[in-house]
Amino acid sequence: MQHRIVVLGAGYTGAIAAGRLAKRLRHEDVAITLVNAEPDFVERVRMHQLAVGQDLKPRPFSEMFAGTGVELRLAKVIGVDVDRRTVAAVDANGAEELEAEELEYDILVYALGSGWNDQGVPGTAEHAHEIASRPGALRLRERLARLDIGQPVVVVGGGLTGLEAATEIAEARPDLDVALAARGGLGDWLSPKGRRHLRKVFDKLGITVHEHAAVTGVEADRVVTAGGGSIPAAVTVWTTGFAVHPIAKATTLEVTDTGRIVVDGTMRSVSHPDVYAIGDAATAMGPGDKPLRMSCASGTPTAWQAADAIAARLTGGKLPNVPLRYFNQCISLGRKEGVIQYVTADDRAVWAALTGRLAAVYKELVCKGAAWGVANPTLGMPTRRRRVVREPARAGSAVNASA
């Protein structure tokens, strides 16, 4: 019988893992099922572009995985039973009144990722927009299109997503009054060169910066800051980090307080050896024993690591031992400007930074490369498929728990 591998989520990490496994293992030996609620790949790193009216190239999974042996199941995951090794899913078209379908697996790759995090701030869910998803970006796109000249837009959050959203909106809609509210200083984690260029671009685009302004409430026409101040906002864009999908926390998997699955160096669950977690869903450790941040830069290598580890364990090969580390942070500042901040292995800024038009081109190449990598997941690796040599696990037994 074929070994059943089920991959949940077809973002950067899930899609890469599924494709890499398909090119590592013989189709006669494994059945790879990729479960996702949308038929097209979503370039999450471009959601700020979608929000301002830019059209993105469609990337249907039916074309991406044609001929690979990966079966795409369009469904919404509503539950996982890691003790019975089953996944519950419903029709992706929203027909939740239908009975859930149950998928059985021998190995599960959990890549459900993350969504926006309102941080529990009052009024955020009711009044703020998010760009962590395509539906959220499209709702913001529609709202921005209805704004009149001079109306205020406030982006809350001074991280990478906030910087990119604020500059993209200001460049696309110079008629709007765009502001950024940051808990700390503007780009305070960047090198001096990176900070100078960031401030230069913000000044050029006319973006008002509210530094050290923790937002404590969101209302229909303003955001409230600590100390009782407020910033006018016809539209509030919330970019203060991500929260993982809640399904893992409802299982018997060992997870952190925030719901991220605890894994070893091969992305294997420390509590359930037949489950692998990748991307934002996993607490993967990098240099200095520091957790990797939620990002595409972190997620892609975890997908490689998990897929190669699964293939190695099933075929009797050598386990991967590639360190997970950072090289740079790539920030687009509209379509014409950018900052490429070089960092240490554990993500701390060094003095070197690339800025300006060249940095924007660099970031665009990174985005295109990330999408290309989803369709070509065996970059730099041999693609000869290997035969499964270990007996596939069956219900009630661990999957090579001692390997």
**Within a domain: 246:** yes
Q: Are 11 and 111 in contact (CB under 8 A)?
A: yes
Q: Say yes or no: 267 and 234 in one domain.
A: no
Q: Are residues 250 and 229 in the same domain?
A: no
Measured distance CA(225)–CA(216) in Å, rounded: 5
pLDDT on residue 296:
86
pLDDT by position in tens, the chain (length 403): 899 999 999 999 999 999 999 999 999 999 999 999 999 999 999 999 999 999 999 999 999 999 899 999 999 999 999 999 999 999 877 655 567 889 999 999 999 999 999 999 999 999 999 999 999 999 999 999 999 999 999 999 999 999 999 999 999 999 999 999 999 999 999 999 999 999 999 999 999 999 999 999 999 999 999 988 999 999 999 999 999 999 999 999 999 999 999 999 999 999 999 999 999 999 988 888 888 988 888 889 999 999 999 999 999 999 988 888 999 999 999 999 999 999 999 999 999 999 999 999 999 999 998 888 887 776 555 555 667 775 544 433 333 333 3
Q: Are residues 99 and 18 in the same domain?
A: yes
DSSP state of 344: -
Predicted local confidence at residue 401, as pLDDT: 34
Examine the domain organization and report whether 137 and 217 are in the same domain.
Answer: yes
Give how many domains the chain has, as a whole number.
Answer: 2
Say yes or no: 101 and 212 in one domain. no
- Whole-number Å distance between alpha carbons of 89 and 102: 7
Structure tokens at 66: 């044609």
Helix, strand, coil shares of the chain as percentages rounded to 5?
30, 30, 45
pTM of the model: 0.91
> Using CA atoms, how far apart are residues 255 and 366, in angstroms rounded to an integer?
31
Domain that holds residue 273: 3-115+242-325
Domain limit, last residue, from 275, 295, 325: 325
Residues 282 and 216 in one domain: no
Identify the pLDDT of residue 390. 58
How confident is the model at residue 320, as a pLDDT? 87
In this structure, is residue 380 part of a structural domain? no
Whole-number pLDDT of residue 333: 98
Residue 56 within any structural domain of the chain: yes
Does 42 share its domain with 129? no
| Three-class SS state of 311 | helix
Q: Is 367 part of a structural domain of the chain?
A: no
The helix-helix angle for 357-375 and 296-315 (nearest 10°) equals 30
Q: Specify the pLDDT at position 378.
A: 63
177 lies in the same domain as 77: no
pLDDT at site 402 = 32
* Within a domain: 383: no
Taking Cα atoms as reference points, which of 9, 21, 6, 22 lies closest to residue 86?
6
DSSP state of 176: S
Q: Confirm if 213 and 86 have CB atoms less than 8 A apart.
A: no
The answer on 147 and 86 residing in a single domain is no
Query: Both 231 and 267 in a single domain?
Result: no
Residue 155 near residue 215 (C-beta atoms within 8 A): no
367 three-state secondary structure = helix
CA-nearest of 332, 365, 397 to 162 is 332
pLDDT at res. 374: 83
103 beta partners: 87
Residues 133 and 175 in one domain: yes
Same domain, 146 and 233: yes
Alpha-carbon distance 61 to 307, whole Å?
Answer: 19
Q: In the numeric block, which tokens belong to residue 295?
A: 């990002």
Look up the CATH number of the domain holding residue 136: 3.50.50.60
Q: Domain for residue 78, yes or no?
A: yes
* Token pair 């519950």: residue: 88
Assigned token pair, 100: 């859930």
Between strands 114-116 and 242-244, the pairing is antiparallel
| 3 state SS of 244 | strand
CA gap 293, 301 in Å, rounded: 13
Report the C-alpha gap between 83 and 108 in whole angstroms: 12
> Rounded CA gap, 242 and 229, in Å?
26
- 325, 340, 361: which is the final residue of a domain? 325
